[in-house]
Amino acid sequence: MSTYAAFRSLLKLILVAALLVVSAPVRSPIDSASAVPTDMGTITANLRCVTFVDSAIGYAAGSSGVIIKTTDAGNTWYLVRSGGTGDDYDLRSISFLDENNGWAISLTGRVLRTQNAGASWTEISGDLGGDFYGQERIYDTHFTESTGFAVGGASLTQPAVWTSTKGGVGSWYQTSVSPVLLGSYWPAGTNSGEVVYPKDGLGYFYGLDFVPGSSALAWAVGQDVLKSPYLSVIWNYDASRSGLQWVQQTVTGTGKFYDVAFGNATNGIVVGDTGQIRYTKDAGKTWTAATSGLTGDIAAVDLDPSGRGWAVGASGKVIGTVDGGATWAALPQLTGYYLEDIKWVGGDTLVAVGRSGEVIRSTDAGASWSRPVAPTLPSPPVMTSLTSSSHAAGVWTASTVVDSAWTADGSNITGYGYVIDSASDTVPGVENVLTTSQSSTVADSGTYYVHVAAKDVYDQWSTPLHRQVLVDVTTPSVTDDVISGDYEGAAQVTLTGTDGHSGIDRIEHSVNGGTIVTTSSNQAVIDFGLGTHTLAYRAFDTAGNAAAWSEVTVNVVEPAAPVMTSLTSSSHPLSVWTSSTSVAAAWTADGADIAGYGWVLDTTATTAPSAQNTVSTELATSVAGSGTYYLHVAVCDIYDRWSSPYHRQILVDVTDPTATDDITGSYVSSAHVTITASDAHSGIASIEHRIDDGIIVSTSAAQATVDFSVGTFKLSYRTIDQAGNASNWVDRTVTVEKPAPPVMTSVTSDTHPSGEWVASTALSASWTAYGTDIVEYRWTIDNDAATQDLTQSTTATSLSQTLAGSGTYYLHVAARDAFDQWSTVWHQQILVDINDPIVSDDAQSTAYTGVANVRVTAADQHSGIERIDYVVDGGAAQSAYDSQLLVSLYAGTHTIAYRAVDVAGNVTGWGERTVHVDPLLTPIFGTTRYITALEACDVVFPGTMPDGPDGHRTVIVASGANWPDALAAAGLAGAYKSPLLLTEPDLLPGVVGDQIQLLGADRAIIVGGTGAVSDGVFDQVAERVGSSDYVTRLSGTSRYATANDIAAHTVSVTGRSTWDGSALVSTGGNFPDALAAGPIAAAKGWPLYLAEPQGISSVTINAMKAAGVQRVYILGGTNAVSDASYSAIDAAGITVAERWSGDDRYATGIRIANESLERGLIIDRPALATGANFPDALAGGVMQGLDGSILLLTRPDVLPTVVSGFISAHAGEMAELRVLGGTKAVSDEVRADALELMTP
């Protein structure tokens, strides 16, 4: 029996069994193992999509940008794109046009492309939707020869289709399909040219399929959630249709259609959530519902041309059909993981992929399933040769063009890594060459290396081959050592060649145009006789580069008479006296045929030697004693020709110098001693002295003076002459006595007290001093705090001066006595500031909206700013003792006047500024109460919500059909710093589920029992946060018990801000009082308890005590919370702090608002909601509390007097009015009245 027949038989048996025993479960072993094995290890990413190029080659893709490939119909897989941590590609569709060209597209519209069968992937678009209403979501794609199609939608528009006529390379454009779910629109505004945008268009296309072999016939399926009820949608694309190519087809249902498959032009199947299936056999003219036997999601379907079909989905379920979708039966199940996609490969082969890296495969049309096996990789490729036709190995070549070729062994080689550089061991790491040869041009001469490695489809690299390339395109150089003048007698010239790369091969030269002589070395030596000669030469390097010919003239003449060239003495440097009678000398001479030298040492400066007495060029002799001597030397050649003599002075001093002093008897106040030295020959070099055997002080002169202060001192001295001879040390005693110096005792000023800034330049000062025989005072006024050089002299003890201007001055005074002893200088600070400060503001000239923060800034160059005086709206003058002032002004027209005063008392004139502030109206509402709650959430959490106090991002979910649970959860939301979201009792709205994910929530708390929020909604919330383990339900047997459970949880939130023991008590019979208290409950994290109309229950009181409640605030009058409840709470030992109530619900709301303001909430951005109904303000109260402001209640059509009075009393303090709900909840008239009252 064929596998196809076996499949049909199996299906028939399963269908019959299902009909006979409907309730009997089909038992099949489910293996929980997952993670597909690949060449790079196991892959655990969520695989979202799978496609096949032919019956063997296929690809699968998914989260973190992972892409895997099979070449054997799914039995083994290879990793072609790893993605990994930090990769934000969530790939939802992969499509191939042919074996090499394919595209993978992420949920957020990022497009990857491969042109080499998946070996590499490049992003060609970062935002497929472009300038769209919101962030698009892409769920499926298809590519034809000319056009790429993508389907999805966005959170602010209807399901959408995009196309690209460049195969995904260029920009993507939304298909112009005007009938596609346009949604409703805002009414046009009154202002001319106002843009009209979609009010709310929510929906997506999730699936797209083209008829096999066709590029012109396709279907897209999804859901429109703008419709009420929601609408399941199927659209047909026909490129041959005149007019609109996309047309909506008729189908019943409200759920999501996830996938569509057509086996031919007429037979198609659509699958979706809650196990729904539709099929057609007339190209979609009629769609018929079929029974799948499943209740969860059916995520994907595929259909072959004969009518066989397969579908997969939640919990690893697999079902099949053999009649085009009319009847279905469960197939054996291998996995429990959610299967995301399935593809019929051909024949009886199927491949399905899913979450956690799940891949399953059937080769018998679904009768049995297996997982892939780990692939066995072939050996990596091997480089076998690397040659160069342009540069032989080890040979320098005069060319920068390098031609290389190579060979390699290995299967599935995709290309090569090629590098040419100056490193010998570079390993290529990038595949950049597809051929087996390459031509490159290097920059200049040098040693280079070509590196080549081969790479196969499994990303395996061979060991690279390296080949040295020697390039020399630089001309060598050659130099000569020919002198600039004439040679005497003979000449020897050396030619030297140099080359920075290949080296010198040879030097060629020619003398007087004669034969060219070659020297195979980098040096050539040429000898010349008498005469004038022309020498031409050049050099060659081993690469063949040749230098140009150079010429030089060599002139050889007869020798001249000898000449003395130097005469030196190592013992007696020139012009230096030396304390030695031993003389050592040396000399040099130029000339040919030198015979010897004559020398004489005497005391005459110009003696000329006339007799040869040595052949040496050195002399060692001595003189008799101190004196000035001269050494005379001349050279003689063999022809008895004498040179002019050289004379060198020799200075000898071996006699000690002498020194004397002028010390007399004792000294008073100070002593000044002069030491005088003399020397008969070399002269005095220095006098050295020291006091009390201390540091030796040297004076480079024949006299030295030494000053002494009071005391008895030992003075030692000696002298040294220029030759280094020194006299003996002489010791003398010096005694000095002196009187006490004067002392300055005070400097004062009656005009400029010390340390105080004064607005005057007229200075009067006086001083006192202590001491005998004070004869003079000296003073100076400047800007230096430590001046010692005083320039003004007086005998008076006071002065009057006019200073130049503002600044910090110092009066310096010192006293001198008759002994010329000065007191220490007294420095007195004088602070002067006669300049006014400057002051300015940053107010804008145009009107502000909401609030104007006007900054007034003052500056002073000298004494500094003492204060800024200011008056707002003609009120009382105020002062800010700072250099900056920030004034916050709310709605209305205001004047602010200001001036600045500096520390010295200088004052600016008054400046004035008029500021106008318009109040800000912020509507917060949606088409449903659920969307209104989302809008309130966006005010506080415009993006991903931050971590809460427990380190998680938690959302609170409550029923939107009734109020008790949601109002009781306000304090819980405040404790978690979380939004409050609303749901239908039996269905989580898709937009609410999307919001949970957009917030990044990883925890959820559902308040209320299953009657308020069903288990189905619980499961939907769990799917959004990742697991049912992350969802908590707080509930009780009644609304009162539920409130108690919520309260207990509120006060025990991990990491929450400190709870002060306060709680709120409201009636459980109506909503207004608790509605108005939502902000204070959320802001403080206070629990809310509900009291029965006849009196609060003992169960609730016990719950308060168990939670640690210390005080309560009762909301509403005695008709809401009875006196009996008051007494019962008080009797339980819990303080009833206050009852917050009014004449009606609106007055009670105002009382609650005033109490909230006293407890830290602010007035600048109040919210206004109807007091006639509860939905709009359920989440709005939490919004206000988390944002720190209050909530006011109003009648829908008129603003209550107590509310208008409250707003009027706070006019000018409010920047923004937030209105919860549409105009039916709060009319335009009420809004206008409130805005008018906000403006003073």
451: DSSP letter: E
1236: DSSP letter: H
747 and 725 in a common domain: no
Strands 671-678 and 658-661: antiparallel
Q: Which single residue is written with the structure tokens 């966005």?
A: 154
Distances (CA, A) of 1051 to 957, 975, 1044, 1066, 1084: 18, 8, 11, 18, 11
333 and 243 in a common domain: yes
Please report whether residue 568 resides in a domain. Answer: no
- For 891-913, what is the mean pLDDT? 91
Cis geometry, peptide bond prior to residue 753 (ω within 30 degrees of 0): no
- For 1031-1052, what is the mean pLDDT? 95
Please report whether residue 375 resides in a domain. Answer: no
pLDDT tens figures, 231-245 = 899 999 998 988 888
Q: How far apart are CA 1223 and CA 1219, in angstroms?
A: 9
- For 140-150, what is the mean pLDDT? 84
pLDDT tens figures, 826-858 = 999 999 999 999 999 998 988 888 788 999 999
Please report whether residue 23 resides in a domain. Answer: yes
Q: How far apart are CA 373 and CA 567, in angstroms?
A: 100
501 and 392 in a common domain: no
644: domain CATH number? 2.60.40
Averaged confidence pLDDT in the chain? 89
899 and 946 in a common domain: no
Please report whether residue 191 resides in a domain. Answer: no
> Residue 157: which pLDDT band, with cuts at 50, 70 and 90?
low
411 and 305 in a common domain: no
pLDDT value at residue 592? 77
Domain boundary among 601, 635, 652: 652
The residue segments making up the domain with residue 812 are: 743-832
Domain boundary among 597, 632, 652: 652
Structure tokens belonging to residue 153? 């939608």
Which residue intervals of 1094-1222 are DSSP H helices? Answer: 1098-1107, 1123-1131, 1145-1158, 1175-1187, 1201-1209
- For 1119-1140, what is the mean pLDDT? 94
Strands 594-602 and 582-590: unpaired
pLDDT tens figures, 458-501 = 778 999 999 999 999 999 999 999 999 888 878 899 999 999 99
Where is average pLDDT lowest: 138-147, 779-788, 1153-1162? 138-147
pLDDT value at residue 78? 87
133 and 248 in a common domain: yes
Where is average pLDDT lowest: 40-44, 132-136, 673-677, 791-795? 132-136
Instruction: For residue 388, count other CB atoms closer than 10 A to its CB.
Output: 17
**pLDDT at 1083 > cutoff 70:** yes
pLDDT tens figures, 682-735 = 999 999 999 999 999 999 999 999 998 878 999 999 999 999 999 999 999 999
pLDDT value at residue 202? 63
pLDDT value at residue 1? 41
pLDDT value at residue 34? 56
Q: Reduced to 3 states, what is the DSSP secondary structure of residue 871?
A: strand
Please report whether residue 190 resides in a domain. Answer: no
Share of the chain above pLDDT 90, in %: 73
Q: How many folded domains does the chain comprise?
A: 8
467 and 356 in a common domain: no
515 and 393 in a common domain: no
pLDDT value at residue 155? 63
Q: In whole angstroms, how large is the CA radius of gyration of the chain?
A: 53
Q: pTM value?
A: 0.40
Please report whether residue 873 resides in a domain. Answer: yes
1024 and 927 in a common domain: yes
Contact 158, 208 (CB under 8 A): no
pLDDT value at residue 133? 56
- For 417-424, what is the mean pLDDT? 95
Q: Which helix (H) or strand (E) holds 991?
A: helix 990-998
850: domain CATH number? 2.60.40.10
Structure tokens belonging to residue 863? 């004494």
Domain boundary among 530, 557, 584: 557
Please report whether residue 927 resides in a domain. Answer: yes
1212 and 1195 in a common domain: yes
Where is average pLDDT lowest: 523-532, 660-669, 1120-1129? 660-669
**pLDDT at 4 > cutoff 50:** no
Q: Of 30-39, 105-114, 428-437, 1145-1154, which one has max mean pLDDT?
A: 1145-1154
873 and 820 in a common domain: no
- For 362-376, what is the mean pLDDT? 92
Q: How far apart are CA 782 and CA 789, in angstroms?
A: 11
Distances (CA, A) of 428 to 39, 420, 425, 473: 22, 10, 10, 27
**pLDDT at 147 > cutoff 70:** yes
Q: How far apart are CA 15 and CA 632, in angstroms?
A: 138
Please report whether residue 668 resides in a domain. Answer: yes
pLDDT value at residue 734? 93
1066 and 1137 in a common domain: yes
Burial class (CB in 10 A: 0-12, 13-18, 19+), 596: middle
